[in-house]
Amino acid sequence: MRPQDLPAGHEDDIPVQAHVLVNQEAIAAELYRHEDLLNWQKLNNLLYINVGLGAVLGFTLDTGNGAALDVASPVVVKALAVLGVMVCVAFGIAIWAGTIYLQNRKLALRLIERRLRPFGGAPMVHLRRFATTRSKLQRFSLTMIVLRGFPFALAGVWLLIGLLAFGGAIG
């Protein structure tokens, strides 16, 4: 909002700086929410891709009567394992970078909140001194561990499948 867009006589109520900060806070909050949704959507897409790769792996290893396919099975299993690791690592890096950006958005919100305090603003993001939690686990977001760790855990599963396939145990 530009100062000339404010109603006449606004100088007596709240300084223009507070109006600017309120608008910036709304934008920063929306950016934070958007990035958070993007990170969860990335994880969702990773799960869909892994379910698809797992289904192909299942069809490759099972012909319906319990016997493994003879010809293409070892090559396909190895290719699926390599592809699975690559996809999981790529999504893991993307999600890790997204969570770093998310923390930067949260920091921007905290800074704006601090600047709004003299005008009667209340903290919404940085509640540490108002929190009644005693456990260290409750002082940070456990979902960050899930977001960052899950892609690499899936990569470990595909790596294990690959090691078994290249070792001749499956496929």
For residue 69, tell me if it sits in a domain. yes
With b for 16 or more beta-carbon neighbours within 10 A and e for fewer, the 56-69 pattern comes to bbeebbeeeeeeee
For residue 171, tell me if it sits in a domain. no
For residue 121, tell me if it sits in a domain. yes
Task: Tell me the mean pLDDT in the region 38-57.
Answer: 96
Cα separation, 90 vs 76, whole angstroms: 21
For residue 1, tell me if it sits in a domain. no
Task: Tell me the mean pLDDT in the region 45-72.
Answer: 80
Number of domains in the chain: 1
Residue 142 — very low, low, confident or very high, per pLDDT cuts 50/70/90? Answer: confident
Cα separation, 69 vs 60, whole angstroms: 7
Nearest to 105 by CA among 42, 34, 20, 17: 34
For residue 9, tell me if it sits in a domain. no
For residue 53, tell me if it sits in a domain. yes
For residue 6, tell me if it sits in a domain. no
Nearest to 30 by CA among 148, 141, 104, 109: 109
pTM, rounded to two decimals? 0.77
Domain extent for 36: 14-166
- Residue 115 reports pLDDT greater than 80: yes
